[in-house]
Structure 1
Amino acid sequence: MRDVAKRAGVSLSTVSLVVNGTGYVSDDMRERVRQAMESLHYVPNDLARNLSRNRANTVGIIVPTIRHPFFATLTASLQHVLSEQGLQTLLCSTTDAVNGEAEYVDMLRRRLMDGIVMGAHTEHAPDYWTSIHRPVIAFDRVLGEGIPSIGSDHVQGGRLIADLLIRTGARRVAVIGGPRTQFGASSVERTTFPTVRYHLALERELARAGVHYEYVEAGEVMDFAGYASAVRSVFDRGADCAVDAVVSSDIGASLCVREAMARGVSVPDDMQIVAYDGTYLTDLAGMPLTVVRQDFQGIARCIADQMMRLIHGKESKGAVSDAGAANRAAYPVGEAEQLISVSLVEGATTRDRH
């Protein structure tokens, strides 16, 4: 910067103002500094500048896998929205990373990141996350008191599907999803893994209407072969236990359409199929899927807004503060979750409502 100032014939502080985009500098001086920077091939040291501000302008996003279309779509939306806020993203896929989230948490502790969006399963206790003393936002899970959680309104999603299937005359419904053990608590309201709430809400609403419900396990979220096997098992059943409706993620629902076509099963006359997520796969299944669509942009914007608020709230105190305490103040217990509405988009895989 001293070389630039000398070449441009201005003070060092003027160069600093131009580089950092702060304060007033006349157009003439700004152009002289720009030309001097160009002639000297000067590139501002962002690392040093960020350290001086106690900022890294980087947010870590932790997901189970980026191979799954849901997490690929979500991370793309998050990256776009955070970029609009001037933040870069570092992506961690826990199934593909040797140390899981530990490396990212360490980077956050060492102030190499400004915050973390945690969207993967973790074995760590709640006090582990609050002890980081930096902004952490949970996506579609509850990490504990003091950690804000943002996700879709999955209870609404379950009720939308139940209402559709009941009104279209479904009598035997199979839901294909991950390990049942992930449900944890049996209560729709109390489970710490909010994604399963749509399964629990759907099960409850169908039971009230006298519609048979069964859950078919398909393995972990990244186990695509497990989903294919589960779909085949549903179609392999005899007439006495055949289902007339299947609900699954976009992956499971798309596989159901393909399996039905291969076996000559009429969709939706003999079998209705409902997808849950609303990623690009719903347009590639072979026919337009009926889907409960999550609002990826709405989720991303909510996460970005909360992250910026936590980051700036910490900075406004002039020092590194306990982000866990800030989170607890902003999100009292019982009010920590922010839910984004989902929507039902009816396609060709369900019947017209009666």
Structure 2
Amino acid sequence: MVGMRDVARKAGVSLSTVSLVVNGTGYVSAEMRGRVEAAMRELDYIPNELARNLYSGRTSLIGVIVPTIRHPFFSTLTASLQRAFAARGLRTMLCSTADAEGGEVEYVDMLRRRMMDGIVMGAHTSHAPDYWTSIGRPVVAFDRYLGEGISSVGSDHEQGGRLVADLLVRTGARHVVTLGGPRAQFHDLQRWVADHAAIGDDGPASTFPTVRYHLTLERELRAAGAVHEYLEAGEVHDMQAYAQAARVVCARAAEGTVDAIVSSDVGAAFCVQEALRLGLRIPEDLQIVAYDGTYLAQAAGLRVTAVRQDFDAIADAIAGRMDEAIAGGCVTAEPVDDGAMDDAAGGTGTDGADAGTDVVASVLRMIDDLVPVVLMPGETTR
């Protein structure tokens, strides 16, 4: 087996010079570097990556934790993250919490033991903020708040909610149903959305900022005199639960009690198929809006109107935050004002609309990098 000593003899340089070239540390003149690299090619020398990692204290490996890769949103995001990290010389290791045992705890343990350089946390977690802040290693959150000092990147869901509401109000929707995951995931433990606008009861603030999309949509529709309902469609990996929810809400549409549905691309695709099966006219009888804008919105039988999240921009922002965290830069999440959140819960006697506005503003401050979304018109809205 060819080693660095062989390369040093071939190049006529010291062993330390070869080490500097292999590990990319210290200054080596262009002439010396050329001789070493030529010797490495001639001898077909392959650096011992494990030894190099031990020397540098780096693995060039980033763990990416998502709920499941069966869902097109997370498969698309994962592909963009892999490209963004590869452009920075980093590899990714995927953890799909719904599809494999161990989940986030195993990955956090690997991070603590320096088997990874960092983790992107993009799945729902029941761990308290002190669990994440105690790790003391690079963590970047996607679309959630993990704790003070941990940066977070997410789409501008307040903008997304407003885009959907504006479209549906403009096209005359009167009774809108949103299909989504368990509402409890928007909030830590006992905290729930109360009175369709304000977060009530005691407890910590929402760690899942996607809630502001639903709060904004609900607030804007209510202001326009339209009815909004939230129907739970199961966990993000449970495709059959989404299919069942689509059957339920489309049956109501056939009865004339629902005239618009908003859901992820998966839910919207199921709704298109079920509505057509029931003989509903889309968009005359029923409007359908997808929220994500993956390839599935274009493959549902009709081209679905969709709010598209910018996956490449999200991935670039996450990778940039990870670069800063690994380098030891100051990467901090803006702390949430608990007083403002208590006010939003109704403790000061504000009305529901004002409280809902406060909630959205409070959750908005949890995200360091907000990535804009765009509305892509399709055949499923008027």
Q: For residue 181 of structure 1, report the CA deviation from its aligned partner.
A: 2.3
> What residue number does 1:178 align with?
181
Q: Is the 8 A contact 1:55 1:114 kept in 2?
A: yes
Matches within 5 A, 1:323-338: 327=331, 330-334=332-336, 335-338=365-368
> What residue number does 2:163 align with?
160
Match of 1:267 among 255, 278, 282: 282
Match of 2:89 among 61, 86, 89: 86
Q: For residue 112 of structure 1, report the CA deviation from its aligned partner.
A: 1.0
| Partner secondary structure for residue 273 of structure 1 | strand
> What residue number does 1:200 align with?
215
User: Do residues 313 (structure 1) and 328 (structure 2) align?
Assistant: yes
- CA 1:155 to 1:238, structure 2 compared with 1: closer, same or farther past 3 Å? closer
> What residue number does 1:49 align with?
52
| Partner secondary structure for residue 70 of structure 2 | coil
> What residue number does 2:341 align with?
none
Q: For residue 182 of structure 1, report the CA deviation from its aligned partner.
A: 2.3
| Partner secondary structure for residue 123 of structure 1 | coil
| Partner secondary structure for residue 226 of structure 1 | helix
Q: For residue 336 of structure 1, report the CA deviation from its aligned partner.
A: 4.5
| Partner secondary structure for residue 146 of structure 1 | coil
Deviations 1:206-256 (A, max 9, x none): 111111222221100001000000111112237655311111100011111
Q: Is the 8 A contact 2:209 2:366 kept in 1?
A: no
Q: Aligned partners of 1:107, 1:266: CA distance in 2, in Å?
A: 52
Q: Aligned partners of 2:53, 2:278: CA distance in 1, in Å?
A: 60
Q: For residue 191 of structure 1, report the CA deviation from its aligned partner.
A: 2.6
Deviations 1:25-70 (A, max 9, x none): 445x555434433444321112221222221111111011111100
| Partner secondary structure for residue 337 of structure 1 | coil
Q: Is the 8 A contact 1:178 1:221 kept in 2?
A: yes
Q: For residue 309 of structure 1, report the CA deviation from its aligned partner.
A: 0.7
Q: Aligned partners of 1:159, 1:132: CA distance in 2, in Å?
A: 37
> What residue number does 2:119 align with?
116
Matches within 5 A, 1:33-112: 33-112=36-115
TM-score normalised to the size of structure 2? 0.83
When structure 1 is superposed on structure 2, of 182-191 and 138-147 the one drifting more is 182-191
- CA 1:293 to 1:188, structure 2 compared with 1: closer, same or farther past 3 Å? farther
Q: For residue 285 of structure 1, report the CA deviation from its aligned partner.
A: 1.1
Q: For residue 180 of structure 1, report the CA deviation from its aligned partner.
A: 2.3
Supply the AA of the counterpart residue of 2:40: M
> What residue number does 2:362 align with?
none
Match of 2:371 among 330, 340, 346: 340
Q: Aligned partners of 1:163, 1:287: CA distance in 2, in Å?
A: 22
User: Do residues 249 (structure 1) and 249 (structure 2) align?
Assistant: no
Q: Aligned partners of 1:90, 1:196: CA distance in 2, in Å?
A: 28
How many residues are matched? 337
Q: Aligned partners of 1:58, 1:128: CA distance in 2, in Å?
A: 22
Q: Is the 8 A contact 1:68 1:222 kept in 2?
A: yes
Q: Is the 8 A contact 2:253 2:286 kept in 1?
A: no
Deviations 1:286-320 (A, max 9, x none): 12111111111111111111110111126xxxxxx
Q: Aligned partners of 2:183, 2:63: CA distance in 1, in Å?
A: 29
| Partner secondary structure for residue 232 of structure 1 | helix
Unaligned runs of 5+ in 1: 315-325
Supply the AA of the counterpart residue of 2:185: Q
| Partner secondary structure for residue 103 of structure 2 | coil
Supply the AA of the counterpart residue of 1:144: G
Supply the AA of the counterpart residue of 1:110: R
Paired-residue identity, %: 62
> What residue number does 1:317 align with?
none
> What residue number does 2:312 align with?
297
When structure 1 is superposed on structure 2, of 9-18 and 246-255 the one drifting more is 9-18
When structure 1 is superposed on structure 2, of 186-195 and 72-81 the one drifting more is 186-195
- CA 1:238 to 1:312, structure 2 compared with 1: closer, same or farther past 3 Å? closer
Q: Aligned partners of 1:249, 1:194: CA distance in 2, in Å?
A: 16
> What residue number does 2:359 align with?
none
Supply the AA of the counterpart residue of 2:162: R
> What residue number does 2:380 align with?
349
> What residue number does 2:339 align with?
none
Supply the AA of the counterpart residue of 2:381: T
> What residue number does 2:234 align with?
219
User: Do residues 136 (structure 1) and 139 (structure 2) align?
Assistant: yes
Q: For residue 183 of structure 1, report the CA deviation from its aligned partner.
A: 3.2
Deviations 1:275-294 (A, max 9, x none): 00011111111121111111
